[in-house]
Amino acid sequence: PVERPAEGVRVVITAGPTREPLDPVRYLSNHSSGKMGFALAAAAAALGARVQLISGPVALPTPAGVERFDVESAQEMHDAAQRLAGECDLFIGCAAVADFRAETPAEHKLKKREGEDTLTLRLVKNPDIIAAIAARADRPYVVGFAAETRDLATYARDKLERKRLDMVVANDVSRAGLGFGADDNAALLLWREGDTTGQVELPPQPKIALAEAVIRQALAQLAD
Ligand code: C5P
């Protein structure tokens, strides 16, 4: 018999980058491939969960059994997350959300101007999607990601507190062959356990295996 420990659990996951328009043909974005978020969605669905995946623009097929919602900007991702989070047990924010967007995207294509060698863009802060979910009265169990290049545990613990998360998956993006765009990843998992924090180190492994370990750990905490 197939083991389905996530049967009956409703999961919402954000994945991939966001795109913030500057004008009709240009945008601000980042190098997130969406692989980790899609691997989490695939793993949760394979374990029996009902999975809704909110994805920024990525070049990945929808995992089997997953319901997908495509968005572009952080504001669209925020709106979709708020709409879906009310009816889920577990929310995982894996998206690399752009921190800022153009205050007023140009209506027409921006033009180079004779004699002007600089261009100033005024950016405004995007909503913090996961912090907004964690601030809800009907909050689900909230898992966030922390991509750091140093002091992994310190920053991860800080993120747990500041965004009021239940669990943080921290990875060191400076390690060669791991993280952004790669197929493998390693992570330090931290979660709240009463007044203390539990933690486990997950060694470098394919993102799909790491994703399953993360989902299993979150399920174990959810059940407590
Ligand atoms: O603040 P920082 O970007 O380092 O935090 C990363 C975590 O917060 C990830 O879980 C990411 O998906 C989430 N996040 C978000 N909305 C933002 C920025 C980050 O949900 N605007």
User: pLDDT, tens digit, for every residue of 176-207?
Assistant: 777 777 788 899 999 999 889 999 999 999 99
The answer to whether ipTM exceeds 0.95 is yes
What is the pLDDT, as a whole number, of residue 91? 98
Q: Is residue 106 part of a domain?
A: no
What is the pLDDT, as a whole number, of residue 126? 98
Instruction: Tell me the angle at which helices 207-223 and 35-46 cross, rounded to the nearest 10 degrees.
Output: 60
Contact 211, 181 (CB under 8 A): no
Domain limits for position 45: 10-99+121-223
Contact 37, 15 (CB under 8 A): yes
DSSP per-residue string spanning 160-194: HHHTT-SEEEEEETTSTTBSTT-SEEEEEEEEEET
Q: Is residue 167 part of a domain?
A: yes
Q: For residue 156, give the CATH number of its domain.
A: 3.40.50.10300
10-residue mean pLDDT profile of the chain (224 residues): values are 88 98 98 96 98 98 98 98 97 98 97 94 98 97 94 94 97 80 89 93 94 97 89
The count of structural domains within the chain is 1
Atom of ligand 1 at shortest distance to CA of 168? Answer: 10
Residues with Cβ within 8 Å of residue 187, at least 6 apart in sequence: 169, 170, 171, 201, 202, 210, 214
What is the pLDDT, as a whole number, of residue 3? 85
Residue 104 token pair? 């007023």
Tell whether ligand 1 has an atom less than 6 A from the beta carbon of residue 168.
no
Atom of ligand 1 at shortest distance to CA of 143? Answer: 10
Render pLDDT for 134-158 as a digit per residue (tens, 0 to 9).
999 999 999 999 988 899 999 999 9
- CB atoms < 10 A from the CB of 81, how many? 25
Torsion sign (Cα): 81, 58, 71, 22: positive
**How would you classify the pairing of strands 26-28 and 50-55?**
unpaired
Q: Is residue 109 part of a domain?
A: no
Distance (Å, rounded) from C-alpha 129 to C-alpha 163?
Answer: 10
Q: Is residue 204 part of a domain?
A: yes
In the DSSP assignment, the letter for residue 88 is -
Assess whether 30 carries a catalytic annotation.
yes
Tell whether ligand 1 has an atom less than 6 A from the beta carbon of residue 143.
no
What is the pLDDT, as a whole number, of residue 1? 55
Q: Is residue 108 part of a domain?
A: no
Q: Is residue 23 part of a domain?
A: yes
